[in-house]
Structure 1
Amino acid sequence: MQLVFATNNLNKIKEVQELIPDHIKLLSLNDIGCFEDIPETQNTIEGNSIEKANYVKTHYGYDCFADDTGLEVEALNGAPGVYSARYAGEQRDANDNMNKLLTELNTKTSRNAQFKTVITLQLNNKQHTFTGICEGEITHVKKGKLGFGYDPIFKPKGYQLTFAEMDLTLKNRIGHRGKAILQLVNFLNS
């Protein structure tokens, strides 16, 4: 079986490749000749995930899955949420996003947050969604060099390390994307 993962984010591809069984050949957007930006015009994480999967299936004809992930911060009423990647602007710069978030939390007492990933699978002309959530908190300073996005300022509940201080195996086991991918893999294996 082969499936397109509707992303060009090499970090996401690396994370997911670790979790997908060997009998599933994972293709990137690059592999299928999709070089355009796939629209993400929905106002929910679920909506963007569905939109991206539908786009690949409609325009390229491949069975595929797409994910959308957001960081939801309690004290900011769930922001940045669906706007996580471009929280500090269209340049989509992780450091700018983290700096803006840390500044906005300066006056807040609660630092509770969760990462939420929704994966939409388009397989045999049927659609399925899988959701993974990882609860935790936003740290006061950036720590760690691993991972990407908000990983240096997100500490999962029950751990003293940020995602950016964890190896990929641990992050995949406890993280939002890993939980959603595990549901996807279990579905594909059933």
Structure 2
Amino acid sequence: MNTRFPLPRGSRLVLASHNKGKLAEFSRLLDGYGITVVSAGELGLPEPDETATTFAGNAELKALAAAKAANLPALSDDSGLCVSALGGAPGIYSARWAGPDKNFPAAMQRIEEGIGEDERDAWFICVLCLAFPDGTSRCFEGRIDGSISPEPRGREGHGYDPIFIPSGETRTFAEMSDEEKNRISHRARAFEAFRTACLA
């Protein structure tokens, strides 16, 4: 079976996001591969409703919508924190738990109130999806296991980083530098799978 899904050098790639920080992050990751990255926001593309029930489903939905609207290859990601004691929640609803005002301290408090002292197993998932205007697509998953800190710690990162301690570590993601986190994170692992399959 051919595991390659090549994205040729010189390609123009749409990042299916309106987030400027995410555009900067993926532009750095793709630097050196001859890929020009432009965001869906820059192209004025609408953001589709995330109606799927899995990370892969939502990533594919966003990538296919952007690829067809722009008539270019598109890359999307969908990611979130899963807590074992909460049945995998907040999961695909990680952003929604923080509400429209992105109140992640409240979302982290909600997690703490929902679990017991010995129920702290958790993991982060990231799924990247590369899609083409003809409707073909492929997803790449990255996962990192860890546990929930009893209290938020650290000022780096974003979202749920202050309460997530990766396995083998004593620090939360928010206590690590971007460089340290990006070596081991769920997004780094998903990107490595994408890089191996798609980039020369």
TM-score for the superposition, normalised by structure 2: 0.86
Question: Residues 80-159 of structure 1 correspond to what in structure 2 (within 5 A)?
Answer: 80-105=90-115, 107-123=116-132, 125=134, 126-159=136-169
Large movers: runs of 4+ above 6 Å = none
Q: Deviations over 1:106-164 (max 9, x none)?
A: x3522010000111101463311100001111101111111111011111111121111
**Structure 1: stretches of 5+ with no match in the other structure:** none
Equivalent residue letter for 1:166:
M
- What is the CA–CA distance in structure 2 between the aligned matches of 1:33 and 1:10, rounded to whole Å? 13
Question: Residues 63-74 of structure 1 correspond to what in structure 2 (within 5 A)?
Answer: 63-74=73-84
- The residue number in structure 2 matching 1:51 is 61
Q: Kindly indicate whether residue 33 of structure 2 is the aligned counterpart of residue 33 of structure 1.
A: no
Shift of residue 184 of structure 1?
A: 1.3
Report how many residues are paired. Answer: 188
State the identity as a percent: 35
- What is the CA–CA distance in structure 1 between the aligned matches of 2:85 and 2:19, rounded to whole Å? 29
* Larger-Rg structure: 2
Q: Kindly indicate whether residue 197 of structure 2 is the aligned counterpart of residue 187 of structure 1.
A: yes
Mean Cα deviation higher: 170-179 or 85-94: 85-94
- The residue number in structure 2 matching 1:75 is 85
Equivalent residue letter for 1:160:
T
- The residue number in structure 2 matching 1:2 is 12
- Partner of 1:95: helix, strand, or coil? helix
- Partner of 2:125: helix, strand, or coil? strand
**Structure 2: stretches of 5+ with no match in the other structure:** 1-10
Q: Deviations over 1:46-101 (max 9, x none)?
A: 11111101111122222111110021111111111111111243444322221211
- Partner of 2:142: helix, strand, or coil? strand
- Say whether the 8 Å CA contact 1:88–1:100 is kept in structure 2: no
- What is the CA–CA distance in structure 2 between the aligned matches of 1:124 and 1:83, rounded to whole Å? 28
